[in-house]
Each structure stands twice: as C-alpha cells, then as structure tokens.
Amino acid sequence: MKTTLLILSFALAQLSACLQNLVPNPGFELLSDTTATVSFELLNWFPPECGGTPDNLHALYNEVWAPKGVPDNIHGNQYPHSGNGYAGFGTWEEGYLTGEYAEVQLLDELVQDSTYIVSCWLNLAENSSYVTDKLSWLFSANEPSACNGDDTLFYASQSQITMLSLANLGFEDWVFFEGEFIAAGGEEYLILGDFTSIYDQTPVFIGNNAIPLYTYFYIDDVEVKPKYTTQVDQQSCVNFNVIVQSEMVLIETPLIGKISIFDSNGKLIVDSFPVSPGQNHMNLKNESEGIHLFLFNYDHGLSAKKVLILKV
C-alpha cells in the first residue's frame, strides 16, 4: 500500500500570529508518554520542586490506566473544554501541608511594562469534598525552587494574578477566568496553583464525606497573551514547508530547529527531529492515516502545519 501525504492549506488557528499565546501545549493535549507510569506526562509542563505533583488526564489513558482517563477518572467525570485532555491539581487535602502546582516555560520572555491577559477554564472535580477560593499565577524570570517550611512555594506573595470566587464553581460546567497584569520584564516561567499556606486557607465543605477530604480542580486551555500587540516584537512567523516525495517527506526550513509530530489524538510520534536550513528528509511510510500536527521549534518561536496522511 502506497502512502500519500496531502498537505492541508491551513495552520492551527491557535498558533496564528506567531503563537500569540505564550503558553505551549495550552490545552494539555500533547503527551510525552502514554503509558501512565507517572502522574504528569505532558510536553512542556512539569511540577516545580516544591509542592505536590499534579495530574494530566487524557482519553488516550482510557484503555491503559482508567484512573487517568477522560471523561471518567479517579477525581470524577468531566469532558475536556476542548480536545482530548486536561490537567488537574489539588489545592487542599486534610492532613497535608502542601498543594499541587503546574509549571511551564513560556515561549518567550515577557516584555517590561507590557500588559498581558491571562485566562483559563476551570471545573471543580465532583469527588471534591471541600472547595478553596483561589488560583494564583506566578510569573518568574527564573525557575522557582525555594520552599518555606510548609513546602509552599517561597514566592507565593509575589504572584501577579490571583483569581478569586472559585468557591462558586460547580461540578458540571467549565467556568472561564481572566485577569491581566503588567510585566516587570524577563519573566519566563509560569506556575499555577493556590500558594496559600494550609494554615491560612479556609476550605468550604460542600457535602461529600468521601475519603480523602480534599479540593481538586480541572484546568484547560491556559492562555497568556499581550493585551496590546504593538508592545511585543511582531516579527513575521517563520514559515516552513512540507513537501511530498513518494513515501518521503521533504521539510524545508529557513532556520536550525527541531520537528515534532503528533497524531490526531495528541500522541507524540516523532520527537525533536533535528533540521537544518534548507531541505530535510523524513520517512513517514509506517505512520497511520489521519491528520498529523507538525511543529517546528526554533529559537524563541514555534510554527505549525497540519498534514493529512492517506494510504491509497
């Protein structure tokens, strides 16, 4: 059977304008592993040194490890706001001193005195017995690692955004949260979580006596965007071409970088294939049919194309 590659003439809408959203893998779709051997298997995202480890929940785990599946998982039942997956983190649990945090390195540093809009979709997991009322966004020029004695992030008081009224979240619907702040400049890391010490938290009981007694949120579609696009470098998106040559794919790039490829389920099938300026050849004859996402990572940028693989 011959493999024919058809190039679709569109790029991902969320990756337009040189990825105006500075958060890579914002919908928690792209997985670093599908074995579910560890709790956090996402590209780009990772737990900081302080605090507990969050979870990524994904439809690909339904047959591998059901507690991490979608929509049913160990924390409840919820379909993603978009795509096939989302992340989850606990903000409070009886008998524990620390919450769980999710960290990501932004695609570019924030610009001094520029205003940024941050947003996400949140849902309270239905197995939660209590609810807390805060989600903080901490932007840092360096990767935070220092802890205080309670294993709460030492930089908690420096978080730029704190979203309140999470106690009003329900189990059924995703709720949109948005805020804005002015960057000091040079911030490159983002950490999400409730940085409040357990001694200062006031969790509200919501009627579920199941053990453990805890608060757990699902999160999806995280965005950090400049409010005024003239405040950031508006260099043109770096274009790259994918050209069919029988069972080979010719990738033309103007810069040194790496190509990663994901199938339509978000599974990583080619990881960081190195490319140089000019023509680069790749063999994809063994790949399955369907739409595949080609990501071109280069210095301070990321471009994308969708490729439809049909076997005829």
C-beta of residue 101 within 8 angstroms of C-beta of residue 190: no
Asked whether residue 21 is domain-assigned, the answer is no
Residue 139 identity (one-letter amino acid): F
* CA dist., res. 28 & res. 6, Å (int): 27
- In tens, the pLDDT along 218-238 reads 999 999 988 764 333 434 467
Looking at the structure, tell me whether residues 70 and 171 fall in a common domain: yes
Asked whether residue 276 is domain-assigned, the answer is yes
Looking at the structure, tell me whether residues 258 and 146 fall in a common domain: no
- Coil, strand, or helix at residue 59? helix
Phi, psi for 301 (deg, rounded to 5): -170, 170
Does the structure show a pLDDT above 80 at 141?
yes
Which residues, 6+ apart, have CB-to-CB distance to 65 below 8 Å?
Answer: 35, 36
Looking at the structure, tell me whether residues 41 and 157 fall in a common domain: yes
Q: How many domains does the chain have?
A: 2
- The domain of 300 spans 3-15+236-311
Looking at the structure, tell me whether residues 7 and 83 fall in a common domain: no
First to last CA, the chain: 6
> Rg of the Cα trace of the chain?
21
Give the CATH number, domain containing residue 74.
Answer: 2.60.120.260
Looking at the structure, tell me whether residues 217 and 301 fall in a common domain: no
Given CA atoms 27, 32, 35, 38 in this order, what sign does their dihedral have? negative
Number of C-beta neighbours around residue 272 at 10 A = 12
Asked whether residue 93 is domain-assigned, the answer is yes
Asked whether residue 189 is domain-assigned, the answer is yes
73 pLDDT tier (thresholds 50, 70, 90): very high
Give the CATH number, domain containing residue 297.
Answer: 2.60.40.3080
C-beta of residue 43 within 8 angstroms of C-beta of residue 248: no
Tell me which of 231, 262, 295 is where a domain ends: 231
Residue 45: its pLDDT value, please?
A: 93
- In tens, the pLDDT along 147-202 reads 544 444 545 556 667 766 666 677 888 988 888 889 999 999 998 988 776 667 77
C-beta of residue 62 within 8 angstroms of C-beta of residue 70: yes
Looking at the structure, tell me whether residues 218 and 302 fall in a common domain: no
Residue 7 identity (one-letter amino acid): I
C-beta of residue 259 within 8 angstroms of C-beta of residue 252: no
C-beta of residue 247 within 8 angstroms of C-beta of residue 283: yes
Tell me which of 196, 231, 266 is where a domain ends: 231
- In tens, the pLDDT along 259-306 reads 888 887 778 888 889 999 888 998 877 777 778 888 887 765 677 788
Tell me which of 204, 231, 258 is where a domain ends: 231
Before 48, cis peptide (omega within 30)? Answer: no
Looking at the structure, tell me whether residues 196 and 304 fall in a common domain: no
Number of C-beta neighbours around residue 149 at 10 A = 8
Which residues, 6+ apart, have CB-to-CB distance to 76 below 8 Å?
Answer: 125, 126, 127, 128, 171, 216
Looking at the structure, tell me whether residues 270 and 170 fall in a common domain: no
- In tens, the pLDDT along 13-64 reads 333 334 478 999 999 988 887 776 667 788 899 888 777 789 999 998 998 8
* CA dist., res. 31 & res. 56, Å (int): 9
Looking at the structure, tell me whether residues 247 and 190 fall in a common domain: no
Residue 11: its pLDDT value, please?
A: 37
Residue 170: its pLDDT value, please?
A: 72
* CA dist., res. 114 & res. 231, Å (int): 6
Number of C-beta neighbours around residue 185 at 10 A = 12
Asked whether residue 296 is domain-assigned, the answer is yes
Looking at the structure, tell me whether residues 125 and 255 fall in a common domain: no
pTM score, whole prediction: 0.69
Asked whether residue 23 is domain-assigned, the answer is no
Asked whether residue 25 is domain-assigned, the answer is no
Looking at the structure, tell me whether residues 264 and 302 fall in a common domain: yes
- Coil, strand, or helix at residue 26? coil
* CA dist., res. 245 & res. 3, Å (int): 10
Asked whether residue 139 is domain-assigned, the answer is yes
Looking at the structure, tell me whether residues 227 and 244 fall in a common domain: no
